[in-house]
Structures are given as C-alpha cells and as structure tokens.
C-alpha cells in the first residue's frame, strides 16, 4: 500500500475498498491508499496490510545500506544525488539519455583499455591546446581535411 500525503511505515487495518484504492485505519487516523502489489489482491474490510507513505530514510550518525538479491530500481520524475565523493563500481555500465551535460571544474580523466566514440552527425572539439600521442600508426581519413 502507498499512502498519499502521509509519512508512515507499518501495519494498517483495511476499512473499505474502492477500485484500486483502500481506506485504512492507522492507529487513531484514517488515510486512503493505493494498492502497490505486483499480484492480484482484493482487500477486504478487516485485513491487515503493510502501509508505506512518504518515507525519509535518515542516519545522521551512521550509514544506510540497501541490498537486494535481484536488483534495486528507483523510479521518479527527478532523482538528485549529493555527495562529497561518489564512487560507482560495476562489471558493466550502460547509460541512455535524451541529452546529457557534464561540467568538471578541474580535470576529467578517463583510463580505458580501448575507447571508441561513434557520432551520427557533427563532432566538435574545442580546446586551448590539443596534444595527441601514438606509439604506432595515426590514420586520419576524410573526404576533405583542412589544416590551419
């Protein structure tokens, strides 16, 4: 159950059911909730359910760990992460964006066994200085190459 506009995590008693919503008794208050189950369930008056609404996890003097055997998904119109240091580790990573911007104040460094960039239209590189080094062959292939 997902409670609308209420902070709560715990058991609740079903008072009534209307479509995909239920009215719940939470201690001394009542709240309407949405069903959030992946399988069919028809709540009946008197059922005890787990109610969840607007939860904030906080550990000011500790840490919070999320762990799952099959995956963790975050779905929201906007997700914001703030950190002094952000570390990501994975066997593989896939990023898909409509548009992406990255601002790095000082140095952006990439270490890779190989790198490949495929651009379907224009590719623009602007810099004060460009230094490229190769220990082997350098190939530049184009219909027209302008220097200077």
For the residues of 26-45, what is the DSSP string, one character each? ETTEEEEEE---SS-----T
pLDDT score for 3: 54
Assess whether pLDDT exceeds 80 at residue 4.
no
Q: How far is residue 95 CA from its own chain's centroid?
A: 11
The pLDDT tens digits for 106-129 are 999 999 999 999 999 999 999 999
Instruction: Tell the residue number behind the tokens 């994975």, with chain if given.
Output: 90
CA–CA distance, 67 with 41 (Å, rounded to integer): 27
Could you give the domains of the chain? 2-53 (2.40.50)
Would you state the pLDDT for residue 6?
Answer: 61
Can you give the pLDDT at residue 148?
Answer: 84
Each residue's pLDDT tens digit, 70-118: 999 998 899 999 999 999 999 999 999 999 999 999 999 999 999 999 9
Give the H or E element holding residue 16.
Answer: strand 8-18
């Amino acid at each position: 159950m997902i409670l609308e506009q209420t902070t709560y995590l715990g058991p609740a008693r079903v008072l009534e059911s209307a479509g995909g919503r239920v009215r719940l008794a939470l201690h001394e208050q009542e709240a309407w909730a949405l069903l959030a189950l992946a399988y069919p369930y028809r709540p009946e008056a008197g059922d005890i359910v787990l109610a969840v609404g607007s939860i904030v996890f906080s550990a000011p003097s500790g840490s919070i760990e999320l762990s799952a055997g099959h995956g963790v998904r975050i779905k929201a119109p906007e997700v914001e992460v703030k950190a002094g240091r952000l570390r990501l580790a994975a066997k593989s990573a896939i990023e898909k964006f409509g548009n992406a911007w990255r601002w790095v104040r000082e140095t952006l460094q990439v270490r890779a066994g190989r790198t490949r960039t495929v651009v379907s239209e224009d590719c623009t590189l602007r810099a004060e200085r460009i230094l490229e080094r190769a220990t082997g062959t350098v190939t530049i292939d184009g219909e027209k190459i302008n220097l200077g």
